[in-house]
A and B are shown apart, each in its own frame.
Chain A
Amino acid sequence: MRWAGGIGRRRAGLAIGLLAVLLMGGAVAVAQTAAAPAANSADRIAVLERAATQNAAAIASAQSAGDNAWMLTSAALVLLMSGPGLALFYGGLVRKKNVLATMMQTFAMMAVITVLWAVVGYSLAFGQGNAFLGGLHNVFLRGVGLAPGPYAATIPAQTFMVYQLMFAIITPALIAGAFAERMKFSSMLVFMVLWELAVYSPMAHMVWGVGGFLNATGGVVPSLDFAGGTVVHVTSGVSALVTALYLGKRLGYPQKAMPPHSVVLSFIGACLLWVGWFGFNAGSALGASGLATSAFVATHFGAAAAAIGWAGAEWIRNGKPSALGGISGAVAGLVAITPAAGFVTPMSALWIGLMAGVFCFWMVVMVKNVFGYDDSLDAFGVHGAGGTLGAILTGLFARSVINPVFGAGKATGFFEGNRMQVVHQLAGVAIAWGLAIVGTLIILFIVDKLMGLRVSEDAEREGLDLSQHGEEGYDWEAA
Chain B
Amino acid sequence: MEEAEGMQKIEAVIQPSKLDAVKDALVEAGISGITIFEARGHGRQKGHTEFYRGREYAVDLLPKVKLELVVTDEMKDRAIEAIISAARTGRIGDGKIFVSRIDEAIRIRNDERGEIAL
Residues of A within 8 A of B (CB): 254, 257-260, 317-318, 320, 322, 324, 364-366, 368-369, 378
Contacts and interface: CB of A to CB of B under 8 A. Distances in A.
Interface of B: 50-55, 57
B5 to A, nearest CB: 33
Contacts of A318: 51
- Give the secondary structure class of B's interface: strand
A322 B52 CA distance: 9
A364 B54 CA distance: 8
Contact of A254 (B50, B51, B55): B55
B54 A322 contact: no
A320 B50 CA distance: 10
A349 B112 CA distance: 77
16 contacts: A257-B52, A257-B55, A257-B57, A258-B52, A259-B50, A259-B52, A259-B57, A260-B52, A320-B51, A324-B52, A364-B53, A364-B54, A365-B53, A365-B54, A368-B53, A368-B54
Contact of B51 (A258, A322, A364): A322
B52 A366 contact: no
Contacts of B54: 317, 364-366, 368-369
Nearest to A375: B53
Contacts of A366: 54
Nearest to A377: B53
Nearest first, the 9 closest Cβ-Cβ pairs linking A and B are: A365-B54, A257-B57, A259-B52, A318-B51, A369-B54, A364-B53, A365-B53, A366-B54, A369-B55
Nearest to B57: A257
Contacts, number: 25
Contacts of B53: 364-365, 368, 378
Contacts of A324: 52
A253 B38 CA distance: 29
Given A257-B50, A366-B54, A368-B53, 6 more contacts: A254-B55, A257-B55, A259-B57, A364-B53, A364-B54, A378-B53
A324 B53 CA distance: 9
Nearest to B59: A257
Determine which residue in B50, B51, B55 has the highest number of CB atoms from chain A within 10 A of its CB, and name it.
B51
Contacts of B51: 318, 320, 322
B104 to A, nearest CB: 27
A318 B54 CA distance: 8
Nearest to B58: A257
Contacts of B50: 257, 259
A276 to B, nearest CB: 24
Contacts of A317: 54
B118 to A, nearest CB: 25
A380 to B, nearest CB: 13
B115 to A, nearest CB: 31
B30 to A, nearest CB: 29
A261 to B, nearest CB: 12
Contacts of A378: 53
A438 to B, nearest CB: 29
